[in-house]
Structure 1
Amino acid sequence: MEAKSDRLNDDSKDAWSKVLYKRQPFPDNYVHTGKFLEEMRKNVNTKIYTFGQISSAACMVSHQLSSVMVFVIAFCYMSYGWLQPSMLLLLILPLVVIGYVAFRYLDCSNSWEHYRSDMKLSGLVVCYSYGLSPVLMTLTQSVSTDTIYSMTCVMLLAHLLVHDYGTGASAPMVSPAISMNAAVFAGVCLASRLSSSWHTFVTLTCGIALLVFLPLLRQQLADAFCAGHIFLAVPFFIISTILLWTVSAVAVTLFVLLQVTVVLICPYLYCRMQCYKNNIHGPWDEALPDTRAAPQTPDEVLFDHHASSHHSTAHMSKTK
């Protein structure tokens, strides 16, 4: 009798089905011991990246580091008197025009409305920057230079941390608004240490062009061409390295080591550590409803057609 009851219990457990709409002689928290681990899956949605893909994506970070370094070097050159602000502005303007034309060409938006709105926005930025330059120059006059430089470093670091490197604004720790505001604030801090309002205006213009407008063109290149952003990352790395060499040999050594770490060492380590990924999925996960409509078979389509025809015929008969 005991063997027969055990066999009946086993049969009843085998008849258990994982549904909610069916009344079953089992408690709500019942789990079939034989099928629980059979439904476990590992690394279902895990994507394995190659070293080339990771290194190419890291070039986004490399380019932004180079842009920040070029901006800081431009400030150092004007602060030391090695570069006049008018000369820097003459260097920036043609590059901004070329970059804007390339951006509009890649964006496939060459209508007159886009040009007019962009010119209006650019005019407002230039007018506000030029008009507020005397105020911005004296805004932090009572603050010590060491504090200004510390605040600039913090703002540039925040700009790099929350910058959008092509992942989208929905990614964690990504905020284009905070990144832009941090870059502008860093430009204001550095501009306040220069000798004239004209220096302040050129510094702000340089910062906006390098840290706000140039990433937009980089993203368009990355979307239009496979690894198109590398065409900006490599020249900027070379230019920033050469310019930084004229300022400090120690700084250029640290900068090159940082770039090598970002572009080569970190992608290599990430590529090697991908084999240790072990994401498990099973019955214990939260249920996610599948809202996608299943494709209909030809029989279902024919049945729906006959049903709709019958419904329309009945409706016409009732109307008559």
Structure 2
Amino acid sequence: MYSAMTTDSRRPWKKNLYENVDYEDNYTDPSFLQDLQTNINVKFYTLPEAIQGATKLTNQMSCITGFLIVFYLLFYEKASPTDILLPSGLATCLGYVLCHGRQLKFTDLIEDSKTLLAVLIFGYIFSPLLHKLTDAISTDTICTMTVFVFILNLVFHDYGLDVAMVSKTISLNAEIFGSICLASRLSSSYSAFVLLVQSAIFFVLYPIFTARYWRPWYMGPIFIICCSFLYGISTEGFYIYIVIIVFINFVCPLIFVYQQKYKRNIHGPWDEAIVDEASSIDKEL
């Protein structure tokens, strides 16, 4: 009887810490969970959407694979630098025309040509310096650093997501550093110059083209090219490349879509308060 009267005599519980002196510290009133909401603003993705998003990652992985194939051809002298430079230059010109289309102006063409010419001239002049830049470092260390920076490139690359992890600066610097490391292992400064040009094509120009006109099937040509070269270089590398691409591009989206049913985000009065600036200004006015 006494405990019941004591309970009834308590003041009503409020969501205010300083007014609940009559209640235990761990007391929770039933009204506290009335504002509980689940899965607010949660987006559920379809399988085609998930596959399209994964394709952007595998496309970047194919870019790195293609660049490493070019390095292999130059390092083991399977192809001359000129044989690599001319086709890639033609492909770059074709991509430039496709990017601009009918909007291409003669003045823009002249300015872009000046920029390209300046980059090529300075790159050719400084290629002997870059070629000898890491002579004192062992090849094993160079390979380890290259793998590390290319992983950084994959992690921080811009895949079209507005997240804090995306950093174009870190991604681009990692690509440049890895390219210089590999260029220093080549036999001549001209080969190093060609490899640096390929680095600009794979990691600067091609991402600009895909970001502007991205379609999932764009990955098809570079995937086929990488497969054809890898099959001639190493069958083990060929199968590993295919397994990784298929796993990331199809298996991971299937797992992701299946696991979406377990999404459960809860929102309630315990969340951090968000000030609605618009309504606050209206009230002051």
Instruction: Judge same fold: TM > 0.5, yes or no.
Output: yes
Aligned AA (1:258):
I
Please give the alpha-carbon distance, in whole angstroms, between the structure 2 residues aligned to 1:184 and 1:66. 17
Q: Please, which of 39, 46, 52 is the counterpart of residue 50 of structure 1? A: 46
- Once the two structures are superposed, the pairs formed by residues 148-159 of structure 1 within 5 Å of their partners are 148-159=142-153
1:236 aligns with 2:232: no
Say if 1:287 and 1:87 are closer, same or farther in 2 by CA, change over 3 A.
same
- Aligned pairs for 1:191-270 (under 5 A) are 191-222=183-214, 228=215, 230-270=216-256
Q: Take 1:98 and 1:153, find their aligned partners in 2: how far apart are those partners?
A: 31
Distance 2:124 2:225 in 1: 28
Decide whether aligned partners of structure 1 residues 200 and 34 sit closer, same or farther in structure 2, where only a CA change above 3 A counts: same
Aligned Cα RMSD in Å? 3.0
User: Cα distance 1:285–1:29, how it changes in 2: closer, same or farther (>3 A)?
Assistant: farther
**1:65 and 2:61 are equivalent in the alignment:** yes
- The gaps in structure 1 that reach 5 residues or longer are 223-227, 297-320
Structure 1 residues 38 and 84: CA distance shift in structure 2, 3 A = same
AA partner of residue 237 (structure 1): F
- Mapped partners of 1:278, 1:189: distance in 2: 46
Change (3 A) 1:280 1:242: same
CA pair 151-29 structure 1, distance change in 2 beyond 3 A: farther
Query: How far off its partner does 1:112 sit?
Result: 5.9
Tell me: CA distance 1:28–1:144, structure 2 relative to 1, closer, same or farther (3 Å): same
Q: Matches of 1:154 and 1:188 in 2, distance apart?
A: 14
- Give SS of 2:159's match: coil
Q: Normalising by structure 2, report the TM-score.
A: 0.86
2:129 alignment partner in structure 1: 135
Structure 2 CA distance for partners of 1:6 and 1:212, relative to 1, 3 Å: same
- State the 1:125 CA deviation: 2.2
Structure 1 stretch displaced more, 132-141 or 149-158: 149-158
- The aligned amino acid for 1:154 is F
Partner of 1:103: 99
Equivalent position amino acid for 1:197 in 2? S
Aligned residues: 276
> Any conservation in 1 of the 2:97–2:104 contact (CA below 8 Å)?
no
Distance in 1, matches of 2:37 and 2:113, equals 55
Letter in 1 for 2:31: K
Tell whether the 8 Å contact from 1:62 to 1:237 is kept in structure 2 after alignment: no
Report how far residue 28 of structure 1 moved: 10
TM-score, length basis structure 1 = 0.77
User: In the superposition, relative to structure 1, how do residues 45 and 145 fare at CA in structure 2: closer, same or farther (>3 Å)?
Assistant: same
Give the drift of 1:291. 3.2
C-alpha separation in 1, matches of 2:76 and 2:9: 92
Distance 1:278 1:55 in 2: 23
Aligned equivalents of 1:237 and 1:64: distance in 2? 11
What amino acid is aligned across from residue 40 of structure 1 in structure 2?
L
Displacement of 1:212 after TM fit? Answer: 1.5
Aligned-residue offset at 1:104: 2.9
CA distance in 1, matches of 2:106, 2:114: 12
Task: Say whether residues 1:178 and 2:170 are aligned partners.
Answer: yes
Q: 32-41 or 83-92, which moves further after superposition?
A: 32-41
Counterpart-to-counterpart distance in 1, 2:31 and 2:114: 66
Q: 1:177 to 1:5 in 2, by over 3 A?
A: closer
Q: 1:242 to 1:258 in 2, by over 3 A?
A: same
Rg larger for: 1
1:273-305 deviation line (CA, Å, top 9, x unaligned): 1111111001111121223469x9xxxxxxxxx
Q: Answer yes or no: is the 8 Å Cα contact 2:46–2:257 preserved in 1.
A: yes
- Once residues 146 and 119 of structure 1 are traced to their aligned partners in structure 2, the CA distance between those partners, rounded to angstroms, is 39
Match of 1:308 in 2: none
Relative to structure 1, the CA distance from residue 5 to residue 159 in structure 2 (aligned partners, 3 Å threshold; closer, same or farther) is closer
Structure-1 separation of matches of 2:142 and 2:260: 42
Q: Where in structure 2 are the equivalents of 1:69-108 lying within 5 Å?
A: 69-105=65-101
